[in-house]
């Protein structure tokens, strides 16, 4: 029970990082970006390239990796951010300017996801890859709850990233402009907010967080071309659960989905685990159709 | 060659039926059903369970006639559509999508885990095919099935055209186009939506029954979410809100999906097959993006789409 | 709009037809075509890579050894993407457009099933799979005798596993298994066998493949306080499961199925952590024919041959090519009958590699019977089109996969009797 | 109007609409000077709101010219139009309901570099009720307060031209008076004010001049007093009272 809670929080933290990007694209670009999961994958593989040059570093303290992997994650975050923006310039911006319906964007995203995922296959192949071959033993945090040192570190890092992002959105003028844009692009424009600039920033932030989520997923324990795709449904469930466009929503949604997936196995057969996020979602949507933190439109 | 084309055409027509069902829900009523494959699965399994030849280890497998299976499949999907619609239809846009998506995932998991009824991951076989015993060769059967599909699809197409021109169909469009009209209609707007949802789902169930009676085998792997995406891609590429577009989309998207595989086989030596296959999927993605970039409203857009903006 | 729509239809049809027309509709002339359907992309793709290479090697050996009926063989390989509709379309294309009389494939039973039902059986072409183990495919006569597999059914492996866990005195075992036909078959037969041979399954935890994490499943399995684990699945997910299992304090007494006999798995988990595990695999009795294959594969691809489906895929195509040579013509029905004549009790033994294939072709031409020993050992199909092979137990020593002991065919037959009576 | 110098805002023969080729504004010309309030009136669908949106750069103009302070701003995107000195208060959705009052004002000054403290204090001084509501989300405001916030937000960027689309729609008469008083004050401070009003009689009452648009074209123009007295205008566009 306590173990399942601990596991749920861990899974939740990674889902939350990815779901933030999904909720931003839903809130600001106003479409469901099915290619978002591929940004996780790309982030993870970019970090792999850096690690291949720099090595994962000597294990530091209880961790299985050194500063090199963190540096790799940062490089991956920056590059994935720009990659996300590049996809926007190549595909989504063109569609926006042609007045495409949101659904058209969704399927363009689906097409882009196929391309992005299989480019990874083409470059790196299907085989699993590893940042580090170390295997850690879990430490007992609480009676009955074991966690890996790496995972505790990841959890801390993920929470830190969320707090930084929250501060940025709450207090910086650019952050306020982003939230303004999420509510009403037209009104934001007549306030002098440049749509393209906000869109660019949104992609960069989403891509960077996705890269972190991807690296963290890859660390426990392996990378493969479908690492992001396998998380796609959880990401969307979390984003919608929390209410689209809401940072707090995505974070809470992420943790709820993570906990739901892990705790559910106490009562149902693991065969039905895949349905858990949705059943949770269905219940919440019936009680609160706009999501937990969503605003009634 | 002809035999393959007949087979290909049968699959396209089955997929067209799915796309038409979705078009009724999305194109004409604005209901974002992202659980297409769930209804497809219900139709398929209902038909399979009723018509497959009896086997001791299964609860179902009643060996009933083909037509009974098809009609029961439609009835079962209609019922499922009604129940699911009752709960989810008041959700808006994206939320309806994710809810229906979840329902489809759950349905697939039930087919995977409820072994005594569905055969679990082993699947069910020897499913009722229409008059298969009359045909010596698979080509003969496929040709007959193609004829059958043309009649079924033609009838459906014609009936949908009628229905959409009827007062009922015009109300649907009004609800989709104009939120105030929908609000003014209040409760009955929800009823209209629900009716369209049920009717669309029924078509998907019919498609499912036809698919398994064409293939003769069903397993949970037939109903992965990718199928929903494919059907949506067909509708969007063809042009939603337009039944001709729906059928055209099914042809073009499935043509790309199957044709690109042939192209890769012809151009890439077997030793590079893995890379070739990755390239094939990249091509599929690229073509989808390009079609949407150059025809954002689909190959055949809806004629009256401009009218919505003029009254702003 | 109207005209544009129509021209789009016309061009779409033209596109499809054009691509198809490029295929010459030839049968019985050179080269002889053999088809293949494998999941080159999708979630099964990681294990398909070596399987496709084994297929390529087989075709190379066949061609170097004289081909089929004096013609070189052309291998046409299609991707099924792990999707049934795509796989059926690919098989239909191979049979109807390329006119192959026989093809090999595929891996996922969810794809193999509809192919048997809608292509193989009605079109009367031969299908030999390296990897689809779902038990009903060969048992209930649905294939009309046109479907064969070079991989022993899950039953063989499950019984062998049970005999080994019993021999090692494994008690209080939890079974974590992939929720597919393969996993459920294995579990069912394993439980049946353990009941007779000794041991106890205290919990069964199914898992769905391609999950980002299996902590929940592992936690659930550990909750039963097991003394040993039997893990049935595929390497990619298994690496995650075993790592999570070990790091959460699970026992190192782990039994594995055949798919994990690959360095991908061993290196993935980390060799030093799996010193105590053991696994089962089908057949592969030692011998020159096995070594010849291993050597040829390693030379060509600079990779070892360990991994699911590698040996069985090679044999699937070798058997197919031998049968096509034996068959009086290249039609499905006669190839089907010829498949059963590649391993005749009083035949001259032939093995793997181009030279042995050449020898076999000459024997066939001379009207003499042959007895094929393949990369997996003797290939003899039973009435259903299944092989029962010997089994082996493997373990990990000094970071390498080594054979612990073999279970001979005779032992297997005794085992079957003990369990089923 | 005829000062010899060019007027502050000068719109000449403007053609604009939501869909290219289907214009709603068919060649309208208007002028607004600093320190004056100009009101556009006309029936529904006359193109009044469309005209404001075109000036604000929210929709593209197909033909004609828009000049502000002698500078051509016709083809500028909306955020550049703001920096050229035009503030716009749309009719609906004119505040960010999910943002606090304070944040709304900050967004209003998005283009202003450096510290905003002085401007914010000035805005609160101008609209005292907002000062008390500073940390509240705009969703919690009353209709009058929202309108005040919308105007305050628009003047945060120091516009030289302020455009308002039906600023008094749905407000109580007392609040309407207050809004008009505020606008008068802004005009006296040197801003050019251009508004669209359904409440034509009251709006013309506080305006210097007015334009009547019908079917996307100029119909009447003149000093507000003269329009109020014109029997043709009164009968057709000012309602019964």
| Axis-axis angle for helices C354-365, C45-64 (nearest 10) | 50
Q: How confident is the model at residue D60 (pLDDT cuts 50, 70, 90)?
A: confident
Measured between beta carbons, the chain A residues lying within 8 angstroms of C43 are: 226
- Within an 8 Å CB–CB cutoff, is residue C332 touching chain B? no
Kindly report the nearest CA distance between residue A102 and chain C, in angstroms. Answer: 22
3-state DSSP call for residue C377? strand
The pLDDT > 90 percentage for chain D reads 59
Interface test with A, best of D110, D146, D157, D165 (most A CBs within 10 A): D110
Inter-chain touch A237–B98, beta carbons under 8 Å: yes
Is a pLDDT exceeding 70 seen at residue C194?
Answer: yes
Kindly report the nearest CA distance between residue A187 and chain D, in angstroms. Answer: 7
Average pLDDT (C113-128) is: 92
- Within an 8 Å CB–CB cutoff, is residue B97 touching chain A? yes
- Within an 8 Å CB–CB cutoff, is residue B251 touching chain C? yes
Residue A98 in any domain: the answer is yes
pLDDT at B150: 95
Q: How far apart are CA C12 and CA B253, in angstroms?
A: 9
CA B161 from chain center: how many Å?
A: 18
- Within an 8 Å CB–CB cutoff, is residue C191 touching chain B? no
Inter-chain touch C116–B217, beta carbons under 8 Å: yes
Q: How confident is the model at residue C284 (pLDDT cuts 50, 70, 90)?
A: low
DSSP string, chain D: --SSSPPSEEEEEEEE-SBTTB-SEEEEEEEE-TT-EEEEE--TTSSHHHHHHHHTTSS-EEEEEEEETTEE-TT--HHHHHHTTEEEE-SSS-S-TTSBHHHHHHHHTTT--S--HHHHHHHHHHSHHHHHHTTSBGGGS-HHHHHHHHHHHHHTT--SEEEEESTTTT--HHHHHHHHHHHHHHHHTT-EEEEE-SSHHHHHHH-SEEEEEETTEEEEEEEHHHHHH-HHHHHHHS---
Domain total in chain A: 1
Higher-pLDDT residue of C50, C307: C50
pLDDT at C2: 45
Kindly report the nearest CA distance between residue D219 and chain B, in angstroms. Answer: 22
Q: How confident is the model at residue C28 (pLDDT cuts 50, 70, 90)?
A: low
Q: Name the residue facing B217 among C56, C90, C118 (closest C-beta).
A: C118
Contact D179, D167 (CB under 8 A): yes
From chain A residues 204-243, the ones with a CB under 8 A of any chain B CB are 233, 236-237, 240
Residue A238 in any domain: the answer is yes
What is chain D's mean pLDDT, rounded? 89
pLDDT at B182: 64
CA A64 from chain center: how many Å?
A: 23
Residue A293 in any domain: the answer is no
Measured between beta carbons, the chain A residues lying within 8 angstroms of C273 are: 135
The pTM of the full predicted model, rounded to 2 decimals, is 0.85
> Mean pLDDT, 10 residues at a time, over chain A (297 residues)?
85 93 88 92 95 77 82 95 95 87 83 93 87 77 80 90 93 93 90 92 95 91 88 88 84 91 82 81 79 65
Inter-chain touch D19–B309, beta carbons under 8 Å: yes
| Neighbour subunits, D (≥3 Cβ pairs < 8 A) | A, B
Is a pLDDT exceeding 90 seen at residue B76?
Answer: yes
Q: Regarding the domain delimited by C154-281+391-420, which CATH topology (the fold level of the hierarchy) does it fall under?
A: Rossmann fold (3.40.50)
- Within an 8 Å CB–CB cutoff, is residue B293 touching chain A? yes
Domain at C26-152+291-378: CATH architecture: 3-Layer(aba) Sandwich (3.40)
Inter-chain touch B252–C1, beta carbons under 8 Å: no
- Within an 8 Å CB–CB cutoff, is residue A130 touching chain B? no
Is a pLDDT exceeding 60 seen at residue C228?
Answer: yes
Q: How confident is the model at residue B139 (pLDDT cuts 50, 70, 90)?
A: confident
- The domain of A154 spans 2-287
Q: Name the residue facing D97 among A183, A188, A189 (closest C-beta).
A: A183
ipTM exceeding 0.90, yes/no: no
Greatest mean pLDDT among A62-71, B41-50, B108-117, D68-77: B41-50
pLDDT at A297: 42
Q: Name the residue facing A282 among B26, B102, B233 (closest C-beta).
A: B102
Contact D50, D83 (CB under 8 A): no
Is a pLDDT exceeding 80 seen at residue C126?
Answer: yes
pLDDT at D239: 65
Q: How confident is the model at residue B307 (pLDDT cuts 50, 70, 90)?
A: very low
Q: Is chain A touching chain C, with at least 3 CB–CB pairs below 8 Å? A: yes
Cβ pairs bridging A and D (under 8 Å): 70
What is chain B's mean pLDDT, rounded? 86
From chain A residues 58-97, the ones with a CB under 8 A of any chain B CB are 91, 94-95
Angle of CA points A34, B39, B36, to nearest 5°:
25
From A295, which residue of chain D is nearest by alpha-carbon distance? D98
Average pLDDT (C64-80) is: 92
Measured between beta carbons, the chain D residues lying within 8 angstroms of A194 are: 77, 79
Measured between beta carbons, the chain B residues lying within 8 angstroms of D22 are: 306, 310
Is a pLDDT exceeding 90 seen at residue B40?
Answer: yes
Q: How far apart are CA D148 and CA D183, in angstroms?
A: 10
Q: Find, among A226, B112, A227, B265, the residue nearest to C41 by Cα.
A: A226
Q: How confident is the model at residue B304 (pLDDT cuts 50, 70, 90)?
A: very low
Rg from Cα positions in chain B: 20
Residue A61 in any domain: the answer is yes
Cβ pairs bridging B and D (under 8 Å): 8
Segment among A123-127, A199-203, C279-283, D230-234 with least mean pLDDT: C279-283
- Within an 8 Å CB–CB cutoff, is residue A275 touching chain B? yes
Is a pLDDT exceeding 70 seen at residue C285?
Answer: no
Is a pLDDT exceeding 80 seen at residue B188?
Answer: no
What ranges in C45-135 are assigned the alpha helix state H? 45-64, 84-96, 109-115, 121-123
Inter-chain touch A222–C217, beta carbons under 8 Å: no
pLDDT at B152: 95
Measured between beta carbons, the chain D residues lying within 8 angstroms of B306 are: 19, 22
Measured between beta carbons, the chain D residues lying within 8 angstroms of B312 are: 18
Cβ pairs bridging A and C (under 8 Å): 100
- Within an 8 Å CB–CB cutoff, is residue C325 touching chain A? no
pLDDT at D240: 47
pLDDT at B30: 84
Biggest CA–CA distance in chain C, Å, is: 76
From A93, which residue of chain B is nearest by alpha-carbon distance? B293
Inter-chain touch D18–B306, beta carbons under 8 Å: no
Question: What CATH number is given to the structural domain containing A250?
Answer: 1.10.3470
Kindly report the nearest CA distance between residue D133 and chain A, in angstroms. Answer: 18
Find the chain A residues whose C-beta atoms sit closer than 8 A to any C-beta of C: 3-4, 7, 10-11, 14, 118, 121, 125-128, 130, 133-138, 146, 148, 217, 220-222, 224, 226-227, 230-231, 234, 261-262, 264-266, 269-271, 273-274
- Within an 8 Å CB–CB cutoff, is residue B229 touching chain C? no
Kindly report the nearest CA distance between residue A106 and chain D, in angstroms. Answer: 24
From C267, which residue of chain A is nearest by alpha-carbon distance? A133
Residue A209 in any domain: the answer is yes
Q: How confident is the model at residue B306 (pLDDT cuts 50, 70, 90)?
A: very low
pLDDT at B119: 85
- Within an 8 Å CB–CB cutoff, is residue D5 touching chain B? no
Measured between beta carbons, the chain B residues lying within 8 angstroms of C19 are: 259, 262-263, 266
Interface test with B, best of D19, D45, D54 (most B CBs within 10 A): D19
* In chain C, ranges of CATH 3.40.50.2300 domains: 26-152+291-378, 154-281+391-420
pLDDT tens digits along C30-41: 899 999 999 988
pLDDT tens digits along B156-173: 999 998 988 888 888 887
Residue A297 in any domain: the answer is no
- Within an 8 Å CB–CB cutoff, is residue C239 touching chain A? yes
Kindly report the nearest CA distance between residue B32 and chain C, in angstroms. Answer: 24
Q: How far apart are CA A218 and CA D145, in angstroms?
A: 52
pLDDT tens digits along B205-262: 999 999 999 998 999 999 988 899 889 889 988 888 888 989 999 999 899 888 888 8
Q: Name the residue facing C90 among B137, B221, B261 (closest C-beta).
A: B261
Kindly report the nearest CA distance between residue C261 and chain A, in angstroms. Answer: 15
Is a pLDDT exceeding 80 seen at residue B82?
Answer: yes
pLDDT at B311: 34
Inter-chain touch B312–D22, beta carbons under 8 Å: no
């Amino acid at each position: 029970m306590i173990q399942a809670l601990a596991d749920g929080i861990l899974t939740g933290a990674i889902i939350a990082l990815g779901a933030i990007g999904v909720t931003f694209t839903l809130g600001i670009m106003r479409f469901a970006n099915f290619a978002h999961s591929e940004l996780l994958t790309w982030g993870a593989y970019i970090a792999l390239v850096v690690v291949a040059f720099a090595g994962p570093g000597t294990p530091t303290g209880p961790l299985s990796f050194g500063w090199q992997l963190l540096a790799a994650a940062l490089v991956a975050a920056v590059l994935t951010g720009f990659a996300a923006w590049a996809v926007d310039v190549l595909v989504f911006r063109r569609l926006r300017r042609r007045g495409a319906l949101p659904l058209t964007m969704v399927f363009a995203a689906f097409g882009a996801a196929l391309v992005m995922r299989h480019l990874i296959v083409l470059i790196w192949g299907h085989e699993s890859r590893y940042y580090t071959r170390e295997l850690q033993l879990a430490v007992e945090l609480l009676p009955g709850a074991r966690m890996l040192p790496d995972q505790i570190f990841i959890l801390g890092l993920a929470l830190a990233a969320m707090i930084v992002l929250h501060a940025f959105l709450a207090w910086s003028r650019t952050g306020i402009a982003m939230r303004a844009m999420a509510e009403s692009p037209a009104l934001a424009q007549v306030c002098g907010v440049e749509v393209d600039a906000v869109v660019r920033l949104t992609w960069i932030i989403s891509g960077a967080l996705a890269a972190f989520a991807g690296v963290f997923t890859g660390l426990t324990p392996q990378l493969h071309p479908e690492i992001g795709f396998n998380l796609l449904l959880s990401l969307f469930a979390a984003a919608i659960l929390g209410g689209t466009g809401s940072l707090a929503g995505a974070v809470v949604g992420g943790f709820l989905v993570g906990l739901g997936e892990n705790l559910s196995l106490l009562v149902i057969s693991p065969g039905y685990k895949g349905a858990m996020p949705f059943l949770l979602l269905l219940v919440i949507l019936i009680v609160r159709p706009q999501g937990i933190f969503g605003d009634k439109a | 060659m002809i035999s393959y084309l007949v087979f290909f055409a049968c699959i396209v027509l089955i997929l067209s039926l799915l796309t038409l069902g979705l078009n009724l829900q999305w194109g004409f009523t604005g209901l974002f059903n992202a659980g297409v494959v769930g209804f497809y699965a219900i139709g398929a399994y209902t038909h399979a369970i009723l018509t497959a030849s009896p086997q001791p280890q299964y609860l179902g497998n009643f060996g009933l006639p083909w037509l009974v299976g098809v009609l029961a499949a439609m009835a079962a999907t209609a019922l499922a559509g009604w129940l699911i619609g009752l709960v989810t239809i008041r959700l808006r846009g994206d939320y309806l999508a994710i809810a229906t998506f979840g329902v489809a995932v759950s349905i697939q998991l039930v087919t995977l885990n409820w072994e005594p009824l569905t055969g679990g991951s082993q699947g069910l076989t020897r499913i009722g095919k229409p008059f298969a015993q009359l045909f010596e060769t698979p080509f003969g059967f496929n040709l007959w099935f193609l004829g059958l599909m043309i009649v079924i699809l033609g009838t459906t197409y014609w009936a949908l055209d009628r229905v959409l021109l009827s007062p009922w169909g015009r109300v649907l469009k009004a609800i989709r186009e104009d939120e105030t009209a929908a609000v003014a209609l209040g409760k009955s707007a929800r009823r209209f939506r629900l009716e369209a949802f049920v009717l669309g789902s029924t078509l998907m169930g019919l498609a499912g029954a036809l698919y398994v009676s064409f293939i003769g085998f069903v397993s949970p792997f037939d109903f992965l979410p990718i199928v929903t995406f494919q059907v949506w891609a067909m509708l969007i590429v063809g042009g939603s809100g337009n039944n001709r577009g729906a059928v055209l989309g099914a042809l073009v998207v499935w043509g790309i999906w199957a044709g690109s595989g042939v192209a890769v086989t012809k151009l890439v030596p077997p030793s590079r097959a893995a890379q070739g296959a990755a390239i094939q999927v990249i091509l599929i993605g690229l073509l989808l993006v390009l079609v949407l970039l150059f025809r954002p409203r689909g190959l055949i857009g809806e004629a009256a789409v401009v009218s919505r903006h003029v009254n702003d | 709009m109207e005209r544009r729509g129509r021209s789009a239809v016309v061009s779409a049809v033209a596109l499809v037809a054009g691509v198809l027309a490029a295929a010459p509709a030839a049968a019985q002339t050179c080269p002889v075509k053999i088809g293949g359907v494998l999941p080159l992309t999708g979630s099964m793709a990681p294990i398909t890579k070596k399987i496709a290479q084994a297929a390529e090697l087989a075709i190379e050996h066949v061609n170097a050894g004289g081909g089929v009926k004096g013609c070189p063989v052309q291998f046409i390989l299609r991707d099924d993407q792990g999707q049934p509709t795509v796989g059926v379309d690919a098989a239909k294309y191979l049979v109807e457009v390329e006119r192959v009389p026989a093809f090999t494939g595929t891996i996922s039973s969810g794809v193999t099933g509809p192919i048997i039902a809608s292509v193989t059986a009605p079109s009367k072409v031969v299908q030999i799979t390296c990897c689809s183990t779902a038990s009903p495919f060969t048992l209930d006569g649905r294939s009309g005798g046109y479907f064969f597999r070079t991989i022993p059914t899950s039953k063989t492996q499950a019984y062998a596993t049970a005999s080994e866990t019993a021999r090692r005195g494994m008690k209080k075992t939890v079974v974590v298994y992939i929720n597919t036909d393969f996993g459920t078959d294995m579990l069912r037969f394993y439980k049946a066998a353990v009941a007779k041979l000794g041991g106890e399954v205290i919990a069964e935890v199914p898992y769905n493949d391609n999950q980002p994490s299996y902590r929940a499943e592992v936690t659930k399995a550990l909750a039963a306080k097991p003394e040993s684990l039997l893990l049935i699945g595929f390497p990619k997910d298994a690496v995650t499961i075993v790592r999570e299992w070990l790091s959460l304090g699970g026992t190192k007494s782990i039994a594995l199925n055949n798919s994990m006999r690959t360095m991908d798995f061993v290196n993935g988990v980390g060799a030093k952590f799996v010193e105590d595990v053991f696994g089962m695999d089908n057949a592969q009795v030692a011998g020159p024919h096995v070594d010849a294959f291993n050597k040829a594969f390693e030379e060509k691809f600079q990779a070892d041959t360990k991994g699911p489906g590698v040996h069985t895929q090679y044999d699937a195509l070798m058997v197919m090519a031998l049968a096509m040579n034996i068959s009086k013509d290249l039609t499905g029905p006669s190839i089907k009958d010829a498949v059963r004549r590649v391993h005749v009790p009083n035949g001259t033994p032939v093995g793997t590699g181009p030279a042995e294939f050449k020898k076999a072709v000459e024997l066939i031409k001379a009207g003499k019977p042959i007895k094929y020993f393949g990369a997996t050992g003797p290939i003899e199909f039973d009435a259903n089109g299944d092989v029962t092979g010997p089994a082996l137990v493997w373990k990990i020593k000094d970071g390498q996969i080594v054979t612990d002991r073999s279970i001979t065919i005779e032992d297997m037959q005794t085992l079957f009797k003990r369990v089923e009576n | 109007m005829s000062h010899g110098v060019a007027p502050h805002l000068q719109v000449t023969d403007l053609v604009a609409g939501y869909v290219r080729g289907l214009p709603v504004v068919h060649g309208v010309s208007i002028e607004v000077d600093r320190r004056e309030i100009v009101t556009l009136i006309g029936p529904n669908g006359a193109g009044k709101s469309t005209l404001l949106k075109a000036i604000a750069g929210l929709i593209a103009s197909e033909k004609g010219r828009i000049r502000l302070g002698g500078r051509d701003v016709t083809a500028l995107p909306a955020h550049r139009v703001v920096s050229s000195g035009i503030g716009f208060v749309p009719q609906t959705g004119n505040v960010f309901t999910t943002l606090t009052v304070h944040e709304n004002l900050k967004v209003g000054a998005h283009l202003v570099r450096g510290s905003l403290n002085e401007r914010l204090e000035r805005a609160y001084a101008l609209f005292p009720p907002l000062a008390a509501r500073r940390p509240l989300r705009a969703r919690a405001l009353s209709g009058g307060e929202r309108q005040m916030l919308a105007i305050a937000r628009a003047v945060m960027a120091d516009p030289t031209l302020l455009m308002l689309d039906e600023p008094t729609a749905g407000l109580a008469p007392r609040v309407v008076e207050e809004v008009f008083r505020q606008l008068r004050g802004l005009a006296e401070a040197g801003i050019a004010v251009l508004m669209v009003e359904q409440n034509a009689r009251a709006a013309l009452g506080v305006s210097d001049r007015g334009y009547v648009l019908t079917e996307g074209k100029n119909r009447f123009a003149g000093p507000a007093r003269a329009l109020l007295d014109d029997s043709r205008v009164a009968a057709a566009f000012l309602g019964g009272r």
